[in-house]
Structures are given as C-alpha cells and as structure tokens.
Structure 1
C-alpha cells in the first residue's frame, strides 16, 4: 500500500467520495450532511491523501482542511472490502504528520451519531469529544471531536 498527497479530482478518487456519500446519505437528513465537495477538497489549504493498493487502485482517502488554529479532518473513508487491515490508521497518521509538518498543532472533526465504527476509531486514535466548533450549526446528530498534535 502507498499513501500520498494527491489531487482529489481524479475519477477513482471521485468514486471513493461518491461511495462515502452513498454510505452516509441514508444515515442522516440532508440538513445534517457536512461533507465538502471535490472543488473544496482542491483548495490550497487542504491536504488530501489517498491510499492505493499494490495495483494502484484508490482504496481510501482523507483530507485535513488547515484553518488558522486547527486542522479539520474531512472525508475519511476506506472501502469496505479493505477495512480491518490498518489502512485507516495509516492514512490518518500520514495525514496528521503532513499537517503537523505545516505547523498544525490541533485536529478537529465532525462525524455523526449513527457511525459507531467511526466514533470508536477516532477515540482509539486519540480524539476526544468536545463542543461544537466553527460554522457548524447545533445538530443533535453531530459529534465533535478534537486531538492535540503529538
């Protein structure tokens, strides 16, 4: 497996984002969806990482939006058939390392109450629940988490 910072505007990466949306959209009403699109993922303040298997197939992705005071994790996804192999751990560690190298000292995220696997993964990765942040509205379906850089 190889993980690298890549341009999100690639057909196989767009398919990953589409698969993530297909997974999440049935879980929440439209007003509780806070994912960002390919154009936003291509912004200068976004680090977008892709995990690829030995054949070069995109099997996972994640982004960190670098804000002035923190980095926000967005669009973390690993294909279901590739889960359980430590890919998410490696992808998150890689992306956090890239963000820390650019001066990021704190990470935040928003995820949903209907994603227990994600909540467990982030807790195991050192993220703790916190109050709402940024421009997110009050939403009982959202869970906000934070981690200080190591």
Structure 2
C-alpha cells in the first residue's frame, strides 16, 4: 500500500498549472503610455518587431499586458476570476483606452498539462460577462509538459 503522503505529492506534482493574462494590442499605437495611465504593478509593454522571449519569433503588434503568476489548479475559472478582480479597479480606464485607441483586448489562459491531467475549461457566467465588458476575446492554450519534478 502507498504512503498517503506519496499520493498527495503525486497529485500536487501532476496538477495542471494555469496562468491568466490580459493583453491589449494595436498595430497602430505604441502602448507604453498605458504603463503610467493605468497603474497596474507588473504590467509590461512591447513593440511590434521585438523578439518574443529568447526565440527568433517577433511580435506582430504593439502591446500592453498584465499576467498573474502560474498556479496549480484543475479549474480555469479560478485564475480567470483572480485576473478579472485585479482589473476591476481599472475597468473604466481600460475600457476607455480600448474604445479610444481601438485596441484589441484578449484574455488568455495558458495551461501546462502534466500527464493526462487536463483542467476543467468551465468558466462561470459571471466571468464570461466580465470578459465581455472589455469586449475581449478569450483563448485557452493547453501545452503538454513534462512534470516539473521529473
């Protein structure tokens, strides 16, 4: 019989990781000024043509982004709700920027899947309504990964 602590360790190790991100993109406008206009700690910007991370891929648009840290969960609605809660104090500023600059808004849920453990892609009606308030798309990307402890 297995030790219960081994089972708990395996479950934690195999639980999918999810990171939620909110991005504003534009082909016409550089979005650096949003860093000061919308004071969200951890927000970053980039310009069209910059390299993506340390790859040879290049950014196709200018952008502004806020990402939450990775978290282990089987439910996508948790990280999505947390992201939306971070945005709430800045909703008017964000919506105004989206409208006035004709920005594209995107909510991304990035998932690292370990083994066969896929998170539930259920999003609550409240979360969907909140995403719609920004006129944002919602994308989920699931990437099979090796277990971090392997």
TM-score scaled by structure 2? 0.30
- Whose Rg is larger? 2
TM-score scaled by structure 1? 0.30
